[in-house]
Chains A and B, each alone.
Chain A
Amino acid sequence: MIAAAAFRQDEPLRRPLRDAALVLAALAAAILVAWAMGNAWWLSFLARVAITATAALSLSYLIGQAGLVSFGHAAQVGLGAYVALIAGEYGVSDLTLLAPLAFATAALWSAITGALALRTRGVYFIMLTLAFAQMAYFIMQSLSRFGGDDGMALARRATLLGAPILKTDLGLALAALALLAAALIGFVWMTQTRYGLVLRAAKENESRALASGFRVFRFQLYAYALAGGVAALAGVLLANQAEFVSPSYMNWHRSGELIVMVVLGGATSLPGAVIGAAVVLIIEEALGHWTEFWKLGLGLVIVAAVLLRGAALSALLGRTRR
């Protein structure tokens, strides 16, 4: 009877899934064009866009869906890169082992640090995530066996079931695109599942979620671990692209850059994070050729984006105020 009444809200997935498909199609088309033109630089750049977008996407899930503004997300990316490096030193470089290992390592790190950070809220949460990321940074810096401060070259590029799929620029770009697609569609879908509903409710009104009987802490910790794991997968690909891993992957600048990407794309839009990542990298490349002061240009773009869509930023700040 009434339950059959159709509401607009019954199709909450249509728009974000359509946006996701558009973003992915555009990236796929760009990769194909670059490949057809034989432009290796563009291929490698697009792979970097897809990899960075995956990292930004996982942070966007944390910020936009769980309301957890992490200022240390680059540490999780870096952990994935270091798993690729260290496992490679021990002869493990097949993705069937490497990917679960990287995911599990970063998810575990996130679960442990998150369990502590989630006891706080707002600015304190931000500072704690930053502190834990700095810890990870200095731990890796002290591992002289794996390059220490200078970093270290990867033993070899990863394989999939023995096939060297990451060997060519095209292979790497397609692998990055596949990871991004899986993460994007997965995260978008998750927003509308039961878990996603609870997570969003807890973000907006924690006392309500608690009073309704949800242990908000567990839901948020799970999101934190999941996002960390996905960021680590991006880190594995990043290490493979650069064939080099150093602590600078975990630098707090990188964490800040990821936040910029998320805010630029609209904090609550998952496909937006992909666009934000692309825009930041394009600005970095375009202005970086011209001037050392390319960050000034990036700054102006951020200011413009924030002023034009103040809602996204105020939503972000609104969460930290609590």
Chain B
Amino acid sequence: MSEAILSLRDLDKSFGALHVTRKVTLDVAPGEVHALIGPNGAGKTTLISQIAGSLRPDSGRVIFAGEDVTHLDAPSRAQRGLARVFQISNVVDSFTVLANVVLSALATETTAWWGWGVAMKDPGLRERAFYALDQVGLVERAPDQAADLSYGERRALELAMGLVQNPRLFLLDEPMAGTGREESRRLTELLRTLKGRTPMLLIEHDMSTVFALADRVTVLVDGAVAITGAPDVVRADRIVREAYLGEGEAA
């Protein structure tokens, strides 16, 4: 699968005696929603950090859009089109919703250094920001402080901050964590509208979200890939049921 947007090759990472990532090989195809599931402590977030560039693997390679980015830092990977949505929503609380998206839009321009104009008045940046906010249904909240948003709205804001950069891949770290049932349903709906346009690597605990969105599912157990396949195949797999789904699906 040489045309994959993201390829991990034998990624390996240890913290001292703790072997958190074991020879992980994984591909995300263009347009695909690829879910990454696994029990707590399986090393999902560590893996995401290595993909985003905030953590360096001990060995192995990360290939993004055909380029080996293993040795690039997080900003460089972001500039190449990798948009990360954090497990704990990560926005600038004291900024308005609009300012957060304008900030993100700036990152894809080479002109962040220059210009004496007031950034928030820049028509081009505003238009891009409002377009992204419109896609996640946050236009009405644009003038509000990000700190005042609900949990789900912060997720949506983070998605808008990713969208405004026209990313080539979304890295979503448990987007449903901490959201209520209604918010979770709306976010799933929102992600469904983005599906097909932007490929996603989705880490999620919420199985209904995973099976509603994912084209393929990879199960991570003890830092290693246990199985990769279509949702139905994975759901039926004995190893997976024992290692992970067992508790939830047995009922």
Instruction: Tell me which of B6-14, B31-39, B84-92, B204-212 binds A.
Output: B84-92
A9 touches B78 (CB 8 A): no
Count of chain B residues with Cβ under 8 Å from any Cβ of A? 47
A10 touches B78 (CB 8 A): no
A211 touches B96 (CB 8 A): no
Scan B155-183; emit 1 where CB is below 8 A from any A CB, else 0: 00000010001000000000000000000
Contacts of A211 in B (CB 8 A): 52, 54, 74, 78, 84, 86, 90
Nearest opposing residue in chain A for B131, CB measure: A3
Scan B87-116; emit 1 where CB is below 8 A from any A CB, else 0: 000111111101100111011100111111
A2 touches B92 (CB 8 A): no
Q: Is the interface of A mostly helix, strand, loop or mixed?
A: helix
**From A9, A189, A195, A216, contact of B96 by CB (8 A):** A9
Scan A193-206; emit 1 where CB is below 8 A from any B CB, else 0: 11111101100110
Given the interface pairs A192-B118, A193-B119, the reply to whether A210 lies near B143 with Cβ below 8 Å is: no
A8 touches B92 (CB 8 A): no
Does B248 sit within 8 A of A, measured CB to CB? no
Does A13 sit within 8 A of B, measured CB to CB? yes
A10 touches B74 (CB 8 A): no
A13 touches B96 (CB 8 A): no
Contacts of B84 in A (CB 8 A): 211
Does B134 sit within 8 A of A, measured CB to CB? yes
Total cross-chain contacts (CB, 8 A):
109
CA distance A212 to B160 in the complex (A): 12
Q: Could you list 17 further interchain pairs (A-B, Cβ under 8 angstroms) beyond the known A193-B115, A194-B117?
A: A2-B130, A3-B130, A9-B143, A12-B118, A12-B120, A195-B112, A197-B102, A205-B90, A205-B92, A205-B93, A208-B90, A208-B91, A209-B103, A211-B90, A213-B78, A213-B107, A216-B75
What are 23 inter-chain pairs, A to B, with CB distance below 8 A? Answer: A2-B139, A7-B142, A189-B116, A193-B116, A193-B118, A195-B114, A198-B112, A200-B95, A201-B92, A204-B93, A204-B94, A207-B54, A207-B86, A207-B90, A208-B91, A208-B92, A209-B103, A210-B78, A212-B161, A213-B79, A213-B107, A213-B165, A215-B73
